[in-house]
Amino acid sequence: MALDHLFFKRDVPFPLVDIDLAKATDAELKVLSKDMGLSLSLDEMRRIRDHFVSLKRRPTDVELESIAQAWSEHCCYKSSKVILREHIFGIDNGKVLSRGDAGVMEFDDEYGYALRIESHNHPSAIEPYGGAATGIGGIVRDVLCMGAQPIALVDPLFFGPLDHKGELPAGAKTPKYLVSGVVAGIRDYGNRIGIPTVCGGLYFDESYLGNCLVNVGCVGIVKKKDLRNNAVGGVGDYLILCGGRTGRDGIHGVTFASAELSSKSEDESRGAVQLGDPITKEPLIHACLEVNSLGLINGMKDLGGGGLSCVVGEMALSGGCGAEVDLDKVPLKESGLAPWEVWVSESQERMMLAASEKNVKRILDLFAMWDVDATVIGKVVPGKHVTLRWQGVQVFQVDLDFLTKGPEYCRPCKIETPSKTIKEVRPLLPDTKTVLLDLLADPNIASKEWVFRMYDHEVRGGTVVKPASGMMNLGGPSDATVIKPLPDRERGLALALGVNPWFCGLDAYRGGMASIDEACRNIIAVGGYPDSFTDCLNFGNPEKPERLGELKQAVAGMGDLARFLNLPVPSGNVSLYNETAKGSVLPTPTVLGLGIVEDVRRCITTDLKKEGNLLFLVGETKEEFGGSAVYRRYGAKGGVVPEVIPERLKRSMDEMHAAMKKGLIRSCHDVSDGGIAIAVAEMCLGGDIGAEIKTNYESWYLFSESNTRWIVEVEPSKEKEFLGCLTIPVTKLGKIGGRSLRIKTEVDRTRIPLKEMRKAWSGALPKLMG
């Protein structure tokens, strides 16, 4: 359909087009949205048309593009906001300091910690190296713009199976290629900016074949007096754009993120993937923190999705003002960009500062010393309009209320719980030794050392519990990592992930709860106490009622449990449309939990410490195999997804924490993927010592993944005191010693040498990655 009759090129010496929306038919509005890459619905296009009709003028291309950015799913959460408001928002225990681009919680009297996690899924599916690198860049800026020094990076990643042989969805890349590219992108960007990548996860499932998930989290530390709003200070403030230059990379990133991937995404959307430059970012971090701590700025915000078009409006509106910007002052990577391109470009490594006139010179001088560009591009004015000029010509003037109050939908939602409808088919299991070695070598369980040794997880010198725990160069997995943010204080932060997409696929409500439970028990296991969460909700197309139903249920599960524990979720991110023609990804709500560690010198690790010490199981094991590793590995179907009993979790957390504070626990590991058997095996690997365990059940109970459980090591002399601390169920499993793991059940005995376990666990990933 030709739309030429709607476009009127303005007679100015640069590209500027007025669009006659008033004359456009519904069919034309639809085509217009598609052709311009706006990803807006017909209703939304009509709303824009009516707005400009009431103003009695035609919108410019700059205005139309800008509204599309602001109203994208990515920017205004139009499908998810109603659900989030009902379940997640507003949990407040009095320790939330800010809910800005990153959430900020109280750390101690003087400091706060910032946290956020978000997705960079679609860019990484198209260009894994650049997509992952700029994902890190973006999340670091979210923490930075609160005035916080970034101190840790976290990256849970989800791909199709590495050994996938069959056909791939059209346009998709092989999982091995994606894993290599994403890991290299995180490595090169994270290592260069000098923020340790301390915690992560690698998950493999067929559902991620066409649409991998790359979630990136960042934690920062900020003096309360340096905490900044993402807002201008007031009328008269100068707007200073600093960092990288603006180019054509990353145009339409947010609108691209708000549509399903297809075989054409590669060709059509390559330009939506931004290019990262860590060596612009590194000094940008220094310079921003320096001008902030010197009290030279009133507000700061990062340029992410939607670029300038989002940052100027949001900063001005939050400060109760309007703004005027001379768009042609923006430093460019290349000449010839149209005004609308400059306005919506998502070029990386850029920050916006708002400062009073008297401080501008000093700010520019300091940035110059760091060789980082900083340019005054506009000013804060009274009123509620943002006005843009290009070579003196007004190219844009929009009311901020209209721009930023995007649509909000209560879309139809269908709730299904497959675990209740699929008939459970139990697997035929081989002998226990085979099952255990198979599971240790399952890429979802196997050692991730191949990945985390490439990440600098110790830069900044504050990593107390590292990704590996135990003997040097022989460590087992850690449950949470612990960071000591301040050199002169022993107070620390525990960072732990919780997510189980397979639970969520069968029962999104229980799966959502399980993700919170897992993050909590991981934090408890290292000696911390859960303090807050940030979440990245990766789901399919919300316009399909079943997908939205999954989102609603998972969020309800997470929210109900977080609310019961009275632990806030001060930040988060929603990524929808993770879907290809072959179907949606598993519902994947990733939770990053943060815990406070009162004294990092009292931390507990997972590795077994000493021959003769006793092993206990804390918590209750039930017949809950739905979504478990053992069911997936051996082709079972259905099954009950492990439930969480909120009161039980809370009591377990408190009692375990008390026992740890009393020094009664020598090592501790949470029970998750692969159940008790795998948890004990991993503890043996870390300590490079065997153990003997007994159970009165059949062996396959050892693989149940019931929630709220830990394995703990206790010295025999402290057994009585330890048991006296607990009112929750606790069972003696056995004791430590020897060079193998020995498992005795009612019916059989199994002996698995440490050597064989290590080969299976450590060898799997390097072998698959080649």
Residues that bind another protein (CB under 8 A): 187, 191-194, 278-280, 282-283, 362, 365-366, 368-372, 452-464, 466, 468-473, 475, 484, 487, 600-601, 603-605, 607, 609, 667, 687
* Phi, psi for residue 169 in degrees, rounded to 5: -55, 150
Q: Report, in Å, the least distance between residue 277 CB and another protein.
A: 8
* Phi, psi for residue 428 in degrees, rounded to 5: -90, 115
Q: Are residues 144 and 220 in contact, defined by beta-carbon separation less than 8 angstroms?
A: yes
Q: Report, in Å, the least distance between residue 610 CB and another protein.
A: 9
Is 120 marked active-site?
A: yes
Residue 560 and residue 87: Cα distance in Å, rounded? 7
Please identify, using beta-carbon distances, which residue of 309 and 762 lies nearer to another protein.
Answer: 762
Looking up tokens 């609108």, which residue turns up? 255
Please identify, using beta-carbon distances, which residue of 221 and 342 lies nearer to another protein.
Answer: 221
Name the residue type at position 196: P
Q: Are residues 671 and 711 in contact, defined by beta-carbon separation less than 8 angstroms?
A: yes
Q: Are residues 225 and 179 in contact, defined by beta-carbon separation less than 8 angstroms?
A: no
The tally of CA atoms less than 13 A away on the side-chain side of residue 393 is 14
Please identify, using beta-carbon distances, which residue of 332 and 459 lies nearer to another protein.
Answer: 459
Please identify, using beta-carbon distances, which residue of 253 and 276 lies nearer to another protein.
Answer: 276
Residue 664 and residue 660: Cα distance in Å, rounded? 6
Q: Report, in Å, the least distance between residue 255 CB and another protein.
A: 31
State whether the Cα torsion 49-55-58-62 is positive or negative. negative
Structure tokens at 55: 């103003």
Structure tokens at 442: 């399952």
Residue length of the chain? 770
Q: Report, in Å, the least distance between residue 130 CB and another protein.
A: 16
Is 87 marked active-site?
A: no
Q: Report, in Å, the least distance between residue 449 CB and another protein.
A: 9
Name the residue type at position 48: I
Please identify, using beta-carbon distances, which residue of 187 and 389 lies nearer to another protein.
Answer: 187
Q: Report, in Å, the least distance between residue 367 CB and another protein.
A: 11
Please identify, using beta-carbon distances, which residue of 209 and 464 lies nearer to another protein.
Answer: 464
Looking up tokens 């019916």, which residue turns up? 747
Q: Alpha carbon of 369 to those of 348, 372, 385, 742: distances in Å?
A: 21, 8, 35, 63
Strands ordered across the beta sheet of 730-736: 667-670, 710-714, 614-618, 730-736, 691-694, 740-744, 749-753
Q: Report, in Å, the least distance between residue 682 CB and another protein.
A: 15
Q: Report, in Å, the least distance between residue 369 CB and another protein.
A: 4
Q: Report, in Å, the least distance between residue 351 CB and another protein.
A: 15
Please identify, using beta-carbon distances, which residue of 119 and 613 lies nearer to another protein.
Answer: 613
State whether the Cα torsion 414-415-421-424 is positive or negative. positive
Q: 651, exposed or middle or buried, with CB in 10 Å at 0-12, 13-18, 19+?
A: middle
SS3 442: coil
SS3 340: helix
Query: Which one from 74, 87, 657, 669 is the annotated catalytic residue?
Result: 74
Residue 521 and residue 603: Cα distance in Å, rounded? 14
Q: Alpha carbon of 136 to those of 124, 250, 278, 461, 768: distances in Å?
A: 12, 15, 10, 20, 26
Query: Which one from 120, 385, 457, 669 is the annotated catalytic residue?
Result: 120
Distance, C-alpha 395 to centroid of its chain: 37
Please identify, using beta-carbon distances, which residue of 448 and 650 lies nearer to another protein.
Answer: 448
Q: Report, in Å, the least distance between residue 523 CB and another protein.
A: 16
For the beta carbon of residue 576, count every other beta carbon within 10 angstroms.
28
* Phi, psi for residue 328 in degrees, rounded to 5: -75, -5
Q: DSSP character for 73?
A: H
Q: Alpha carbon of 221 to those of 38, 102, 146, 282, 715: distances in Å?
A: 37, 11, 10, 17, 37
Structure tokens at 675: 């159940």
For the beta carbon of residue 382, count every other beta carbon within 10 angstroms.
11
Distance, C-alpha 146 to centroid of its chain: 18
Q: Report, in Å, the least distance between residue 411 CB and another protein.
A: 45
SS3 257: helix
Please identify, using beta-carbon distances, which residue of 38 and 712 lies nearer to another protein.
Answer: 712
Contacts of 658 (CB under 8 A, 6+ apart): 725
Q: Are residues 518 and 498 in contact, defined by beta-carbon separation less than 8 angstroms?
A: yes
Conformational region of residue 527, where left means phi above 0, alpha means psi within -120 to 50, and beta covers everything else: left
Q: Report, in Å, the least distance between residue 670 CB and another protein.
A: 16
Q: Report, in Å, the least distance between residue 687 CB and another protein.
A: 8
Query: Helix, strand, coil shares of the chain as percentages rounded to 5?
Result: 40, 25, 40
Residue 667 and residue 649: Cα distance in Å, rounded? 20
Please identify, using beta-carbon distances, which residue of 457 and 718 lies nearer to another protein.
Answer: 457
Contacts of 600 (CB under 8 A, 6+ apart): 464, 482, 484, 490, 491, 492
Please identify, using beta-carbon distances, which residue of 159 and 450 lies nearer to another protein.
Answer: 450
Task: Report the candidate in 416, 418, 632 with the shortest Cα–Cα distance to residue 506.
Answer: 418
Q: Which residues are catalytic?
A: 74, 120
